């Protein structure tokens, strides 16, 4: 028993004081035949004439492969449901912090006006299907126009709002060209996740420029489809060329500031009251824009 313990102690001492595996195997007492037989038992085939230093390299390569296989076979630690929730929440928070609302507004305008204008019969076949699926079911459209006559009309519901906007391009043959530079596009967001996009542009019918438009969109992210936003409300103003001040057509610009966009959220949430509707109508009639 003592002899066995002495042997184990000796082996332990050799391992402790060896600086590396290679140094250990290079010792004179570790014969070439021992390494050769070991490799053979592990299924590593080497020529009988292989020199000792090459056998050592084969052994090192074999051990490295074995350690990699063990790492792959090691099961991943079980994550608690609570940890998963915290991780997902942190991921969502990080994603929310990275939202570039200016870029979101630009991409939305490219998509919206590209899709809407493609429904114009003079623009060729539509690029995609237009319909109520792009709106929340309780969407509101406030349409103000000042052309040969002046009026403000409210539309409610995805179906009717979708059809009214479609009729502008499909039946009245209008083409809305947004101005997406810093003066023509403004974006803001509310603490509740509503993103507001204000955009100005020109209105055309074939080769004729008829006037300008200003439009505010309220967008809310769809929680059921990733990276998808739907339209919650729209305020659209179209002003004919004859009603404009000289030079206005040169570069259509939003006539309200970003703070007005943020305040506009309060008008929309209270839009059911007559007082607020009257205030908005007065603001529109005075030409100051849709402001709270």
The string of pLDDT tens digits covering residues 28-37 is: 777 788 888 8
The percent of residues above 70 in pLDDT, for the chain, comes to 66
Question: Phi-psi category of 247—alpha, beta or left, where left has phi over 0 and alpha has psi -120 to 50?
Answer: left
Tell me what pLDDT residue 40 has.
Answer: 81
CB count within 10 Å of CB 270 equals 13
Q: How many CA atoms lie within 13 A of 17 on its CB side?
A: 7
User: Same domain for 21 and 121?
Assistant: no
Same domain, 105 and 66: no
Q: Does residue 87 lie in a domain region?
A: no
Last residue of a domain, one of 24, 54, 72: 72
Q: Are residues 129 and 262 in the same domain?
A: yes
pLDDT at 140 over 60: yes
Query: Is beta strand 229-240 parallel, antiparallel or unpaired with respect to 135-146?
Result: parallel
Q: Is the pLDDT of residue 223 over 60?
A: yes
Parent domain of 104: 100-286
CATH number of the domain that residue 113 is part of: 3.10.450.50
Do 133 and 219 have their domain in common?
A: yes
Lowest mean pLDDT among 53-67, 91-105, 207-221, 256-270: 256-270
Helix (H) or strand (E) holding 72: helix 52-73
Q: What is the pLDDT of residue 289?
A: 38
Strand partners for 196? 188, 218
Predicted local confidence at residue 100, as pLDDT: 80
Quote the pLDDT of residue 12. 60
Determine whether 263 is exposed, middle or buried from the number of CB atoms within 10 Å of its CB (0-12, 13-18, 19+): middle
Q: Report phi then psi at 144, rounded to 5.
A: -110, 130
In a domain, 190, yes or no: yes
Greatest CA span in the chain, whole angstroms?
113
- The token pair at 178 is 């947004």
8 A C-beta contact, residue 136 and residue 220: yes
Please tell me the pTM assigned to this model: 0.57
Regarding whether 172 and 233 lie in a shared domain, the answer is: yes
pLDDT at residue 194 above 80? yes
The burial of 101, by beta-carbon neighbours within 10 Å (0-12 exposed, 13-18 middle, 19 or more buried), is given as middle
Residues 50, 106 within the same domain: no
Specify if 82 maps to a domain: no
Distance between CA atoms of 276 and 2, rounded to whole angstroms? 98
CA distances from 10 to 3, 21, 217, 249 (A): 10, 16, 81, 95
Rg (CA), the chain: 36
Q: Contact, 268 vs 233, CB < 8 A? A: yes
Do 139 and 44 sit in the same domain of this protein?
A: no
- Reported as a single tens digit per residue, the pLDDT across 41-87 is 888 878 878 888 888 888 888 878 877 777 666 665 555 555 556 65
Handedness of CA 165, 168, 170, 176 (dihedral sign): negative
Q: Is residue 46 part of a domain?
A: yes
Shared domain for 115 and 218, answered yes or no, is yes
Same domain, yes or no: 164 and 64: no
pLDDT band at 255 (very low <50, low <70, confident <90, very high): low
11 and 108 share a domain?
Answer: no
Q: pLDDT at position 16, please?
A: 57
Q: How many structural domains compose the chain? A: 2
Please enumerate in sequence order all residues whose Cβ is within 8 A of that of 157, keeping only pairs 6 or more positions apart, or say none: 137, 138, 139
Determine, yes or no, domain membership for 94: no
> What rounded mean pLDDT belongs to the chain?
76
- Give the pLDDT confidence of 149-188 residue by residue, as tens digits: 888 999 999 999 999 999 999 999 999 999 998 888 988 8
Considering the domain architecture, whether residues 137 and 230 belong to the same structural domain is answered as yes
Q: What is the mean pLDDT of residues 246-260?
A: 61
> Are the C-beta atoms of 59 and 39 separated by less than 8 Å?
yes
Confidence at residue 278, expressed as pLDDT on a 0 to 100 scale: 37
Q: Does 89 map to a domain?
A: no
- Mean pLDDT value across residues 197-206: 92
pLDDT at 288: 37
pLDDT number for residue 29: 75
> Which residues are within 8 A (CB) of 112 and not within 5 positions of it... i.e. 6 or more apart?
217
What pLDDT score was predicted for residue 37? Answer: 81
Of the candidates 35, 55, 72, which is a domain's last residue?
A: 72
Is residue 263 in some structural domain? yes
pLDDT tens for residues 205-221?
Answer: 989 999 999 999 999 98
Q: Which of 52, 72, 92 is the last residue of a domain?
A: 72
Q: Taking the C-alpha atoms of 267, 273, 277 and 280 in order, what is their torsion angle to the nearest 10 degrees?
A: -30
Question: 111 and 256 share a domain?
Answer: yes
Classify residue 137: in a domain, yes or no.
Answer: yes
């Amino acid at each position: 028993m003592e002899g066995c313990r002495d042997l184990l102690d000796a082996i332990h001492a050799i391992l402790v004081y060896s600086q590396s595996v290679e140094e250990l195997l290079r010792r004179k007492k570790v014969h070439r035949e021992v390494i050769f037989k070991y490799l053979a038992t592990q299924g590593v085939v080497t020529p009988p004439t292989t020199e000792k230093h090459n056998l050592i390299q084969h052994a090192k390569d074999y051990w490295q492969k074995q350690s990699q296989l063990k790492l792959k076979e090691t099961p991943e630690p079980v994550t608690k449901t609570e940890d998963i929730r915290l991780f997902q929440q942190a991921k969502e928070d990080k994603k929310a912090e990275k939202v570039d609302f200016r870029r979101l507004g630009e991409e939305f305008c490219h998509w919206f006006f590209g899709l809407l204008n493609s429904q114009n019969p003079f623009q060729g076949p539509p690029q995609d299907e237009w319909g109520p699926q792009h709106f929340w079911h309780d969407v509101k459209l406030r349409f103000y126009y000042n052309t040969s006559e002046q009026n403000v009309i409210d539309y409610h519901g995805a179906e009717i709002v979708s059809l009214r906007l479609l009729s502008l391009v499909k039946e009245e043959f209008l083409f809305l060209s947004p101005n997406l530079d810093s003066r023509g596009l403004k974006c803001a967001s509310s603490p509740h996740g509503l993103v507001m996009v204000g955009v100005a542009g020109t209105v055309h019918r074939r080769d004729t420029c008829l006037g300008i438009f200003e439009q505010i969109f309220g967008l809310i992210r769809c929680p059921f489809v990733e990276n998808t936003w739907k339209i919650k409300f729209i305020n659209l103003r179209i002003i004919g060329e004859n009603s404009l001040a000289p030079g206005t057509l040169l570069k259509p610009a939003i006539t309200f500031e970003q703070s007005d966009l943020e305040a506009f959220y309060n008008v929309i949430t209270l839009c059911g009251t007559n007082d607020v509707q009257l205030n908005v109508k007065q603001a529109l009639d005075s030409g100051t824009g849709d402001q709270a």
